[in-house]
Amino acid sequence: MKTGFVLSGGGSLGAVHVGMLQALVGAGVRPDLVVGTSVGALNGAYFAADPTVEGVTRLDRIWRRLRTRDVFPINLWQAMRAATGLDDHLIDDRGLRALIADHLPIERLEHARVPLRVVATGLESGRELVFGDGPAAERIAASAAIPGIFPPVNVGPEVAVDGGVVNNSPLAVAAREGCDRVIVLTTSLTCRRSRRTPLPALGVALQSLNLLIGRQLINDVRMLRDRVDIRVIPPLCPLPVLPSNFSQSGLLIDQSRALAEDWLAKGGLDEGELPPAWQAEQCLLATCGG
């Protein structure tokens, strides 16, 4: 059986991937393919490069040290340029690229120990772009280039942006690559936040994208369940933090690991049940309302 790990996008909520990976590695579950988009591309690339307990432990340390300014360094001058139409992005991606370059154990995607696919979107063509080789930092930055927030990335003839624009849970990529079983590591359900605090502009943008991620993932799972054995690790819900806030990464890692370990212990890989809030559209809407 060929097993694929699929890691979705979700901004700072990507910390939950780390807890899920810790649980999977601890249980001896190993992938034959890793597919990631946006922050899932970053985490997926790191894991594919070093799919060991030690590798996931290092990824844990990276996430716990991250601060919002490391990834989203808001600059007033840049924001004014974007607001007046003089530039195509709100935030420079140098922080993101430095994060990738400083910590990723590989320079090229094809050097990963587990076959890796990074998903982005062609801004002009609208095509899904799937990268299995080439410069890792460039490909991952392209997959994480949230339109309007980070600048688009030139990749060959394409101008690439966040893979979540067309495919935030690239299950179909794993299916096309011949995976019989796909384990989905998603950052969220389309559920309410646990805190009703006012949202900053960046938080609004990322939270809106995150809601789309959850709904799209549900649709993808429903479309592919007859073709592929799909297992969805239950994500945290309600969410204790916005996808623009990196200050709670440790909490997200710890909670997601505990939830994933409990799911594994109860036979989650064998039963194939979807998270309860996905089992009926009425339940989903009830979870997300109000």
Q: List the chain domain ranges.
A: 3-288
**CATH fold label, 3-288:** Cytosolic phospholipase A2 catalytic domain (3.40.1090)
CB-based burial label for 94 (10 Å; 0-12, 13-18, 19+): exposed
With cut-offs at 50, 70 and 90, classify the pLDDT of residue 92. confident
User: What pLDDT score was predicted for residue 286?
Assistant: 36
User: What pLDDT score was predicted for residue 52?
Assistant: 97
Among the listed ranges 114-123, 129-138, 168-177, 187-196, which one has the minimum average pLDDT value? Answer: 187-196
Mean pLDDT of 173-182: 94
Of the CA atoms within 13 Å of residue 74, those in its CB half-sphere come to: 11
Read off the pTM: 0.85
